[in-house]
Amino acid sequence: MIKVKRITPRTCLWPLTGSLVASFALSIGLTFQSDRHCYAGVCGELLFPLQARLHVVVWYCWLSISVTILALRAFHPSIRRKLQLQIFKGQLPVVRKSFTISGALVASWILSLYGIITGIWWLRVQEYFVARGEAGGIHTGNNLVAAVALTGHYADVTMGMVLLPVARNSALSSFFRLSHSTTYAFHMIQAYVLFGSVLLHGLIYAAWVGDFNKNPDLFRLTFPVLNPTYFYHEVWPGGRGSLEVWRASLIFTGLVASMIMLAMFFTTFPSIRRKHFNLFYFTHLLAIVAVIVICLHASTMFYCTAPGLAMWVLDWGMRLYELSGKMDSSLEAVGNGWFCLTLPLPRRRLDGCACYSPLAHFHIHHAESSIREIHPFTTITHLASKKVATPSSTERKVLASSSSEETIMIQFLFRKSKASHSFVPNTNHPREEKSSKQWTSKLASLVDDEPTTEKSPSRTRDEENDPEGQVGRRLSSIYHTSLRLEGPYFTPANPGFSNTVICLVAGTGVSGAIAIAAAFTAQSAMAREQAIAIGLMPKIEPQAPTPTPTPTPTPTPVNEKSAVAARPPPKRLTTAEDGPSCHLPIQDKHTWTRCIVVWSVRSADHIALPFFHQDESPGLQVRTHLTGPGHARLDMEKTIAEICEGEADGKARTWVYLSGPNAFIENGEKACRAHGVDFYGARWS
């Protein structure tokens, strides 16, 4: 069996470097072979060999310098913080991103590339096409042909930039510590630039066709309409050979690629992408066809897209390998519409991973919910602590098939939509056979959210129409199923370098906060063990529990500040010898001493989540803020100010994790900037 090694933060630089070197060698080599083996409709190196090779060299030098700059940024946190400073308040339209110093530098760097490309091509192609046109008696439209060629080369490098961040197993988000939202924003902005350059390319060509139609007999011999790069006898119907026929396909490959890009462009609108994600996703899969067609359109397009294509092919090979094996899992109803998915992750998935960040996500494929869809989920498990731990007997018994010690139990938390309907078929009511459009709702409907001994009329009717007992098997509090898992993908965020970590999360965004709280618990336990080992903290021997009368529980409102803090006080370790209590020793100014989770959730969706272990972690606080009718929204500025009170001396460092709807994250980012604290917004789009 072939063992495939995952591309990880420690190993991803080698595939990136290898892709750049191999792509450059292949591209520059093809520029010397195109006179005998030209596969594209236009091979610019036939007419302009020097410019084509300079085009390739400049593109790969630009990429290499970009990689070097990203590496410097990745390993110097002070540089990263300075580059994240905003130039002006507010957000850019469409992309909804803040305009920072790094954004301005990237824009300038990209514009410099376009400037160099203009310098390489414009004077040469203008001189050539003007002289060629005038030699044929044509005095209008010659500059338009040159402009068509130049805008085509703009599209070359832009397409190369669009493809660079599409690989999940790439160095951009792991080695270079770029967030998913950053790479997504770069991809989206450059995709819009690509669409604009292709549109401009086509409009200039259409304007030239207008001149051509005024005197087609004169233009045809010098600039054939199907491919004005060549002479009439070099393109069908002037030439009848296979090469001439292939060159005439230039206009058709351009039209096909443009139509696909147009469809992709319209599906990127937020109103379509959010409400009809499957349409957006499957339309974007047509990009595979578009890339192939557009590389057949012009040879320089392949030379510029080769690095991104190489990383993308390698990425898909890795993803298909991971998705090839099924994993047994258990789906459990937590209550009130919340569900927990538990499954064993092979330990080899973490080989080579620099698992410093507590935040990691996977892509899950569940065939019973959808054959086509794969969805990202943030795990609530802190993988870094699980990586070095030995699975306990309890964990190994969770699933019968996960008895191997080479697995790690991981969990995912999600909630189904209230508008979803039962996924169980009902033969007597055809209208009810339609499954919910939401993927998570289909998955959640496999278990009974609130099992009860009394059967509802609808459930009784379903069981009567289900002689094989599938309804009873599904409508239980735990459902065992199999799925496929791709990942993990670690988020470049490490809260361990801060003194205070604040998690402002809304709805299902609490998953990341649970993982961060687990990281804090693990770090506190490790610090406690180290302190005991060096004698800074006494070792507490376990004692037999003393029976105490059970107090009468007093209900308290969850939303009030006093109730939020109504939890067991932080444990203090004491001994009979020294008497006084003591906290964990603060080793340096970057010791992580507090972790405060503020969960904003609708009152109708609230549930006491059993995943926080406050009694094991002094310094861990979990606060719940209820929203909905009769409740105010979470005031994040006030919350941050209240938590950071007393830390204005500048010695303590605060870091904020934001997760939830985009509007929630945007408000949190404004609050963080107002207080001058570092933050990370967990955006998927």
For CA atoms 509, 515, 520, 525, the dihedral sign is positive
Examine the fold and report which residue of 321, 344, 364 is the final residue of a domain before the chain moves on.
Answer: 321
User: Is 228 found in the same domain as 192?
Assistant: yes
Instruction: Say how far apart CA 315 and CA 317 lie, in whole Å.
Output: 5
Q: How are beta strands 338-346 and 98-100 bridged, if at all?
A: unpaired
| More confident site: 492 or 144 | 144
Per-residue pLDDT tens for 114-123?
Answer: 999 999 999 9
pLDDT band at 520 (very low <50, low <70, confident <90, very high): very high
User: Is 509 found in the same domain as 480?
Assistant: no
C-beta of residue 349 within 8 angstroms of C-beta of residue 327:
no
Per-residue pLDDT tens for 263-291?
Answer: 999 999 888 887 887 889 889 989 999 99
Residue 326: phi, psi to the nearest 5? -85, 150
Per-residue pLDDT tens for 165-178?
Answer: 888 766 566 677 78
Question: DSSP labels for 122-174?
Answer: HHHHHHHHHHHHHHTT--SSHHHHHHHHHHHHHHHHHHHHHHGGG-SSSTTTT
453 occurs within a structural domain: no
User: Is 146 found in the same domain as 39?
Assistant: yes
User: Is 296 found in the same domain as 361?
Assistant: no
Average pLDDT for 222-232: 95
What was the pLDDT predicted at 146? 97
User: Is 281 found in the same domain as 234?
Assistant: yes
User: Is 330 found in the same domain as 258?
Assistant: no
Instruction: Say how far apart CA 612 and CA 601 lie, in whole Å.
Output: 16
Instruction: Say how far apart CA 467 and CA 261 lie, in whole Å.
Output: 50
207 occurs within a structural domain: yes
User: Is 277 found in the same domain as 133?
Assistant: yes
Instruction: Say how far apart CA 576 and CA 301 lie, in whole Å.
Output: 77
Number of CB atoms found within 10 A of residue 41's CB: 23
For the chain, what is the mean pLDDT?
80
Q: What angle do CA 568, 632, 667 make, to 5 degrees?
A: 95
| Domain carrying residue 93 | 13-321
2 occurs within a structural domain: no
User: Is 137 found in the same domain as 284?
Assistant: yes
Number of CB atoms found within 10 A of residue 340's CB: 18
Instruction: Say how far apart CA 225 and CA 219 lie, in whole Å.
Output: 8
Reply yes or no: is the peptide bond before residue 555 cis, omega within 30 of 0. Answer: no
What was the pLDDT predicted at 55? 97
429 occurs within a structural domain: no
Examine the fold and report which residue of 458, 492, 526 is the final residue of a domain before the chain moves on.
Answer: 492
**594: which strand partners?**
500
Examine the fold and report which residue of 269, 297, 321 is the final residue of a domain before the chain moves on.
Answer: 321
Reduce the DSSP state of residue 365 to 3 states and report it: strand
User: Is 265 found in the same domain as 136?
Assistant: yes
C-beta of residue 499 within 8 angstroms of C-beta of residue 594:
yes
361 occurs within a structural domain: yes
The CATH number for 651's domain is: 3.40.50.80
User: Is 592 found in the same domain as 520?
Assistant: yes
CA dihedral 663, 668, 671, 676 (to 10 degrees): -140
User: Is 597 found in the same domain as 645?
Assistant: yes
Per-residue pLDDT tens for 412-421?
Answer: 999 886 544 3
452 occurs within a structural domain: no
Q: How are beta strands 654-659 and 500-506 bridged, if at all?
A: parallel
463 occurs within a structural domain: no
The CATH number for 411's domain is: 2.40.30
Q: What angle do CA 398, 403, 409 make, to 5 degrees?
A: 50
pLDDT band at 642 (very low <50, low <70, confident <90, very high): very high
**pTM for this predicted structure:** 0.76
User: Is 40 found in the same domain as 171?
Assistant: yes
Nearest to 361 by CA among 96, 517, 174: 174
Q: How many domains in the chain?
A: 3
346 occurs within a structural domain: yes
